[in-house]
Amino acid sequence: MPIQYYIALAACLFCIGVVGVVTRRNAIIIFMCIELMLNAVNLLLVAFSKMHYSSALAVNTHTNAGIDAQLFVFFIMVVAAAEVSVGLAIIVMMYRNVHSVDINFLNRLKN
Amino acid sequence: MISLIFLVPFFPLIGFLINGLFRRSLSKTAISIIGSGVILLSFIISIILFFDVKDNGGIVVHYFNFINVESFQIPFAFQVDQLSVIFLLIITGVGFLIHLYSTSYMHAEPTEHFGRYFSYLNLFVFSMLLLVLGANYVIMFIGWEGVGLCSYLLIGFWFKNDSYNYAATKAFVMNRIGDLGFLLAIFWILNRLGTATYTEVFQQASSLSPSDATAITLLLFVGAVGKSAQIPLYTWLPDAMAGPTPVSALIHAATMVTAGIYMIARSNVLYSLSHLSRDVVAIVGLATAILAATIALYQNDFKKVLAYSTVSQLGFMFLALGVGAYTTGVFHVMTHAFFKALLFLGAGSVIHAMNGEQDITKMGGLRKKLPITFFTFLIGVLAISGFPFTSGFISKDEILVATYAHSPMLFWFAVFAAALTAIYMFRLLMLVFYGGFRGTHEQEHHLHESPLAMTIPLIVLAILSAVGGFVQLPEAFGGHHYFNDFLSPVVPAEVPEGAGVATKEYYLLGGTAVGLIIIALATYKLFAVKKFTRVYTGFKKILADKWYIDELYNSIIVKPLNSIAGFLNTVIDKSIIDGIVNGTGRFVNYSARQLRLLQSGQVGNYILFMVLSITVLFLVFWNQEIILAFLQKIF
């Protein structure tokens, strides 16, 4: 498949994530949208990695070009998992305190 | 002897430091001994120097370079020659007597202030010695400023009194006006000749263009006018009487105010290049002599009369300088130092006896209670009025003769001023020492002759006033000119000689004697009275109010300056400058308040801004070439 498809899909996912983060007020939805953006990036990394690998394979059969990008994806997923655990913990604490996951309640830190 | 020269100003400096630093811990006796002792030591060295200079002539002693910039050098050097050694003797000699007098006069002061007083007085003597010893105009200027400072400090010695502080400030500011002229003259000399050292300046003086010479000498004269209290800057001197009386005697009669005469006598080579300047000096001097004498006629404050008399006598000295009789001017400085110091110290003695009273309308008949003060004061009055054979007669006679040789018209004006001098001095004498006592009973009970420390200086000065003039006998009495001959290496003597002069001097002698007797009788009849009215009307009131000169200065200089300052204060400073400063602060406050609204606390807003910013950043990054091209087109 041409790389453009992957890029278009990733761009769509990213934009959905951005719009979700900007427009929604529910903390969990915002969280999911952030994950969506991360995954859009992951998708691009994998797609470009594959593209580089196939073009390098034509020159050298023992190449491992582009392999580092796929490693990177794992790191991102690990970091994202850690982030989710911290983030969800924050949201749980927030719910306990204010009985809501509406982020606009958080502005009571103001003043 | 050369090695001794620096000791002359060094001793007073030491006295200043000791008395100034340890004024709290030293006893009054110790302060008195140190304060007067250092001046006595300087006086002894001055006498040694005098005889040395008499035998061997003057010398210049170089110590170090004060300013050293490539080819331009101002050395710190002392010049001891006939002129400066005369001033050394006057300053340290009269200075010592006045220090001695002060030890008794100021004895009522608290120890701390007593020490402060003597340290100021010693500092003054130090500065004055620096002024006359300096071998170039810059060193003279240092001393010149030093004496001005000490004058300020001592006029305002009783600093708890506001009007005294005002008088001190007035003296300082008016002196500064003159100092500016002096400073400009020094710059002018440096610019044209590249040196300020007397010997070099006078050698190269002939290379000055006439306009340069006139400008330099006029600027120097401006300096002299400020320091020596001539028209138009004389008004500070009568106010300076706010200081303790010995200070008035030392600074505002005998020494500091004659610094201007010293400066012009020292610069006689420059003044001989410019007739215009000399005429200006003579006319300003004569005008001051007459104006101050008229004011003195109707003053009722003991010290004010003497102050105006000082201004008037300084005018005589400038007249002498202006008509080219430099040595006569210096001679009058010397005799004036004797009799005016005597008169001021006598005034101090009277004021002391009267418990601080200075109004002569409240005195009277003091000659029996204060016999020594009376006799010495009488000699002083005779000397200043020019009674034949007193020192004042001889020096004033010389001034008059020299003036006659220059211009008979000026001579008659000068005679008029001299006659006024006699009138106001005899008026003072009669009001204070004759007639009946007009003060309160307490004062009458308190009256007493002053202690020895005060009467000894009076007696010494009275003897000097009486016979001090004989170093210079007029033509009519055999005529010898020890003083002129002594000064001749430094200052050319231009005393007219010959039989004609002698005849005129006979007339002067007779005229003065007769005139003085008439004046004495007239003033006795008028002022030796039991009751004295002090309300003046008409022209007398104008004189008693000092021709309203102070009011004139107030309205044309002080008040406009104050209103300009007020304008600058309210409009420029408070509105414009403060407006800019406060406006900046207010703008920052306002914009901060507006910007604060961006931080709404809504997470969504933050994220929106983040996304928008990132989008803008990317757009800029992709289009940076277009943007750069666009910017280049603009700038």
pLDDT in tens, B407-434: 888 888 998 999 999 999 999 998 888 8
Instruction: Domain of residue A40: give its range.
Output: 3-109
Chain B contact probe: residue of A102, A107, A109 with most B CBs at under 10 A: A107
**Could you give the 3-state DSSP secondary structure of residue B472?**
strand
Three-state secondary structure readout of B517-558: HHHHHHHHHHHCCCCCCCCCCHHHHHHHCHHHHHHHHHHHHH
**Nearest CB to A106: which of B603, B607, B611?**
B603
Give CA–CA dist B297/B410, Å, rounded.
21
Reported for B209-215, long-range contacts at CB under 8 A and 24+ positions apart, including other chains, are B210/B273, B210/B274, B212/B188, B213/B270, B213/B273, B213/B274, B213/B277, B214/B273, B214/B274, B214/B276, B214/B277, B215/B188
Q: How far apart are the first and last CA of chain B?
A: 79
What band does B2 get if pLDDT is binned at 50, 70 and 90? confident
Is B602 within 8 Å of A18 when comparing Cβ atoms?
no
CATH, residue A74: 1.10.287.3510
A61 CA: distance to closest CA in chain B (Å):
37
Is B601 within 8 Å of A107 when comparing Cβ atoms?
yes
**Nearest CB to A22: which of B600, B601, B608?**
B608
Residues B595-634: tens digit of each pLDDT = 988 887 777 788 888 889 999 999 999 988 888 888 898 8
Check pLDDT > 60 for residue B499. no
Is A23 within 8 Å of B601 when comparing Cβ atoms?
no
Is A15 near chain B, with CB under 8 Å?
no
Residues A4-54: tens digit of each pLDDT = 999 999 999 999 998 888 888 888 998 899 999 999 999 999 999 989 888
Nearest CA in chain B to A34: B607
As a whole-number percent, the residues of chain B with pLDDT over 90 amount to 49
Instruction: Domain of residue B592: give its range.
Output: 545-597
Nearest CA in chain B to A105: B602
Question: Is B422 in contact with B521 (CB distance < 8 Å)?
Answer: no
**Nearest CB to B607: which of A21, A106, A108?**
A21
Token pair, residue B141, equals 């200027």
In a domain, B563, yes or no: yes
B→A interface, C-beta within 8 Å: 600-604, 607-608, 611
Place of tokens 């004055």: B128
> Could you tell me where the beta strands, DSSP code E, fall in B207-258?
none
B560 CA: distance to closest CA in chain A (Å):
56
Is B604 within 8 Å of A103 when comparing Cβ atoms?
yes
**CA distances in angstroms from B528 to A109, B227, B376, listed in the order given:** 97, 36, 19
| Tally of domains within chain A | 1
Question: Is B22 in contact with B112 (CB distance < 8 Å)?
Answer: no
In a domain, B53, yes or no: no
Give CA–CA dist A37/B288, Å, rounded.
100
Nearest CA in chain B to A19: B608
| Tally of domains within chain B | 2
Apex B530 CA angle, B525 and B535, nearest 5: 85
**Global confidence as pTM:** 0.79
Interface pTM, i.e. ipTM: 0.70
In a domain, B90, yes or no: no
**CA distances in angstroms from B621 to B349, B610, B633, listed in the order given:** 96, 16, 19
In a domain, B225, yes or no: no
Nearest CA in chain B to A18: B611
Taking one residue from A and the other from B, the number of pairs with CB-CB distance under 8 angstroms is 25
Give CA–CA dist B263/B181, Å, rounded.
13
Reported for B429-432, long-range contacts at CB under 8 A and 24+ positions apart, including other chains, are B429/B377, B429/B378, B429/B381, B429/B523, B430/B523, B430/B524, B430/B526, B430/B527, B430/B528, B431/B360, B431/B361, B431/B363, B431/B364, B431/B527, B431/B528, B431/B532, B432/B302, B432/B350, B432/B360, B432/B363, B432/B364, B432/B366, B432/B377
Residues B344-382: tens digit of each pLDDT = 999 999 998 888 888 888 888 888 888 999 999 999 999
Question: Is B234 in contact with B193 (CB distance < 8 Å)?
Answer: no
B588 CA: distance to closest CA in chain A (Å):
20
Give CA–CA dist B5/B152, Å, rounded.
28
In a domain, B216, yes or no: no
Alpha helices in B407-498 (DSSP H): 408-433, 441-446, 452-467, 482-487
